[in-house]
A and B are shown apart, each in its own frame.
Chain A
């Protein structure tokens, strides 16, 4: 068997190669120079992620996206999600520097594992073949388990890691069962697009595999009823890791969900859309209702992230062009507002050693910058008008109305109103109430290296949260273009005529901030 090297089209994976190279370089630099160079490792990681993003952008629309004989599809959909993952990894690095130093955790290995998780998530968002999907999923999962148990002398972190590992392994098993059924039904095919025509007429057995696959994916999305691990893992893991799990890993999960459903189950779109309607409603209701009762900020953000995943699933459940494009946009805005909120939580817990919500009261008097960042991000998560989160939600609900999914819009609106309560409660505490004892003892005196990068990250996310709201129309056309140029989504295209917008000028605008 002769293999033409050009047929591999291996150039489509340059961003992944660069992430891998950075991973090895970080490991080697730490091995050779030890403690002397450990200050440089986060910046090395940032540099690698930056170069990877820079190589990703020209791949916006490739002539031939199929790479490695069909294992990987570097279509615009995957490019968008890989960019999201790279940005969220970079922001996670910004917030980890001080956190790692202060808790005296091993420096190099943290960034190595984070880069591994990034690599897994990026590969997952482009995989179009089942063996590749599984390896990428395991790469992401195993590094996530290790990262969540990284504070290894803390019992909460041990518990988080163990819970995540056990439930994750079980869900991987379920997912694998679904995929092995697909392999058998299709007579030994592993390419998703090859499977689709072979299972169309199967009926019940194909639905069984669909349910198993959806259950496996929904664990990654932490959609209700596969969410039980989320609050405990979020509470016990180091906060930067939680931030990455809630954004990067979720984005990869959504990319996988879109690709798996539209490539392997186009013949069962009604059934999987019904499934996702149910999951979306359950996630929105349970996430928002339980978040109200939380007293710990990290747990509250955990439930809020479950609810936010529910909103994103609206786009998946309606399954139209507008649905997918609103999903992408919402994940893009969610990335910045959620990471901004987590950065504020990191800064506060580093200075006060607590993440109780009541401890935030009166923070405005001591640290207006932190208060401003946290308030803007929480208000954006709640969907208050001039901010990015509002436009994201608006577009999602508009897309749902377009396809007459009124039930989803109803639940979305009602739960959004409920969510305003618990987000605004924190804002009100910080602005109006008397300072708590923790805030009274709050000082910036202990600040050392790494606080500046954290503040820079907070500034970036806040500016993005505000500015993305203004820039929404060009972003919509950007998302639309990326979907139009994605072959696997062609069958879901609505009646609107295809017009390929030139994107050369717009592409950097998305990722530049």
Chain B
């Protein structure tokens, strides 16, 4: 084993430990804030694994998007909601046992699958990944790349529509509720008007 292979092996072990430990912590910890921070750690660990696979651009994008945007958003959401979760629930409940069983089954299936497939191993080639990705985007992945821009535009329009504050005029008795379905709710027992402000 050469020196570089040794370094790679050690860093692989460390990164895997970070990812696995972090993921277990996300699921098992009771506090949502702790889980969210550990999720960030898992993302960073995965970015490290991408670096080991010579995918430097993907690693940078992973840190920027997942840690920088997604995870921060999750933290914001948690802090805004600020909901206390009862901490006395046992970790080993029947429900968690079933979930664990399903996950173990899925893991076994995937593990069997991984060892059965004759994977085609690619020799590492020195190349500038950013340039390569750019070339792909403007050749074989041109259409998905362009459609993604439409997707982003629509997501933005939709987000604005959802977040925009509505000006609701006073309505006369008997007029339809604004910004609600015209069908009345089925159980009229619930007398509070549906979803006011």
Q: Do the two chains bind?
A: yes
Identify the A interface with B (CB < 8 A).
1, 3, 8, 13, 20, 23, 27, 67-72, 99, 102-106, 109, 112-113, 116, 119-120, 123, 129, 131-132, 134-136, 138-139, 142-143, 145-146, 149-158, 181, 184-185, 187-188, 190, 202-205, 208, 236, 238-239, 295-296, 298, 349-350, 353-356
Given contacts A153-B195, A157-B181, contact A1 B135 (CB under 8 A): yes
Query: What are 19 A-B pairs at a CB distance below 8 A?
Result: A1-B139, A3-B139, A13-B143, A27-B157, A104-B179, A113-B154, A132-B144, A132-B147, A139-B154, A142-B154, A149-B162, A151-B181, A153-B180, A153-B197, A156-B185, A184-B117, A188-B120, A298-B183, A349-B182
B158 at the A/B interface (Cβ < 8 Å)? yes
The B124-156 residues at the A interface (CB cut-off 8 A) are 135, 138-144, 147-148, 150-151, 154-155
Given contacts A104-B178, A112-B154, contact A355 B183 (CB under 8 A): yes
From B10-18, B33-41, B63-71, B108-116, give the one contacting chain A. B108-116
Minimum Cβ distance to chain B for residue A252 (Å): 14
- Flag if A135 contacts B147 (CB, 8 Å): yes
Minimum Cβ distance to chain B for residue A327 (Å): 26
Please classify the interface of chain B as helix (H, G, I), strand (E, B), loop, or mixed, using the class held by over half of its residues. Answer: loop
Task: Name which residue of chain B comes closest to A149, CB basis.
Answer: B162
B89 at the A/B interface (Cβ < 8 Å)? no
- Flag if B112 contacts A155 (CB, 8 Å): no
- Flag if A202 contacts B117 (CB, 8 Å): yes
- Flag if B161 contacts A106 (CB, 8 Å): yes
Bound Cα distance A185, B110 (Å): 13
Query: Which chain B positions have C-beta within 8 A of A70?
Result: 140
B99 at the A/B interface (Cβ < 8 Å)? no
Partner of A204, one of B112, B140, B195: B112
Bound Cα distance A473, B184 (Å): 44
Query: Which chain B positions have C-beta within 8 A of A68?
Result: 142-143
Task: Name which residue of chain B comes closest to A131, CB basis.
Answer: B144
- Flag if B142 contacts A20 (CB, 8 Å): no
B5 at the A/B interface (Cβ < 8 Å)? no
B84 at the A/B interface (Cβ < 8 Å)? no
Task: Name which residue of chain B comes closest to A147, CB basis.
Answer: B158
- Flag if B150 contacts A8 (CB, 8 Å): no
- Flag if A113 contacts B183 (CB, 8 Å): no
- Flag if B176 contacts A132 (CB, 8 Å): no
- Flag if A105 contacts B179 (CB, 8 Å): yes
Bound Cα distance A72, B140 (Å): 11
Minimum Cβ distance to chain B for residue A206 (Å): 9
- Flag if B151 contacts A69 (CB, 8 Å): no
Given contacts A105-B179, A139-B154, A153-B179, contact A131 B141 (CB under 8 A): yes
What 4 A-B pairs are tightest by C-beta distance, nearest first?
A146-B158, A187-B120, A154-B180, A153-B179
Query: Which chain B positions have C-beta within 8 A of A145?
Result: 158
Query: In this complex, which of B147, B151, B176 has the most chain A Cβ atoms within 10 angstroms of its Cβ?
Result: B147
Bound Cα distance A141, B110 (Å): 27
Given contacts A184-B119, A354-B184, contact A69 B150 (CB under 8 A): no
- Flag if A69 contacts B116 (CB, 8 Å): no
Minimum Cβ distance to chain A for residue B58 (Å): 13
Bound Cα distance A182, B49 (Å): 21
Task: Name which residue of chain A comes closest to B160, CB basis.
Answer: A109
- Flag if A102 contacts B116 (CB, 8 Å): no
Partner of B181, one of A113, A123, A154, A184: A154
- Flag if A353 contacts B150 (CB, 8 Å): no
- Flag if B117 contacts A350 (CB, 8 Å): no
Query: In this complex, which of A120, A129, A154, A236 has the most chain B Cβ atoms within 10 angstroms of its Cβ?
Result: A154
B186 at the A/B interface (Cβ < 8 Å)? yes
B96 at the A/B interface (Cβ < 8 Å)? no
B194 at the A/B interface (Cβ < 8 Å)? yes
B170 at the A/B interface (Cβ < 8 Å)? no
